[in-house]
Structure 1
């Protein structure tokens, strides 16, 4: 499973002009399932997100998690994280999971996050989304998890 995590001071997702999810300070997480991924990997991603220490402590060091700061999670599906441009200038997305698996695992990530943390917002799988964010730092971290 692939994820791109951005520490934000605020973020929101809109679909067709309506807000589907928004948070204040926290993590904006773009998620892409791969064909070999399963529910265990989705759960592992949520656990990693909740423990990832990328918020500053009193000494200014990245030592606090989104749980520690009571920040939000905004989870957005993004199959383009699996883009392969090695063969030319037009990306191939064959490394992304098929839509049915991608949807199931994205929904698992959102459901698990909702069970373990608040607040949690989300995008809409397969939709044309506009993502608005203020990256705090900037801090952007790619995550790759394998079975």
Structure 2
């Protein structure tokens, strides 16, 4: 399973990250000097206010000595405290990918299914099926 450490690995300059689902903290990484409860309360009040005004919110960015980003997707809220020299477009891209994965993770394939697809490339499977459709008698002799 993917966790928020992938953000720190892919984007340099992140000081602290936390992931919230609903009003419950799922994961926290980085500096512990942040007053998390106060910050979560402020973010949730802001989100509730904007939702009452029927506004759709995707991202909040606050810049001072450091930069603070809040990304929203479905029930998840991802907050990132970063240094002032962070690559913000890269952070936005990685964060949105991460939240998309968290909201709907890709299905896990069975090992047998993966192995059978890796044994014969797709173009060969198609070519073989076309061959056996044209010459069904050769399939019987192969078996």
Q: Report the TM-score, using the length of structure 2 for normalisation.
A: 0.27
**Structure number having the greater helix percentage:** 2
RCO (CA 8 Å, sep 6+): is it higher in 1 or 2?
1
Rg larger in 1 or in 2? Answer: 2
TM-score, normalization: structure 1?
A: 0.26
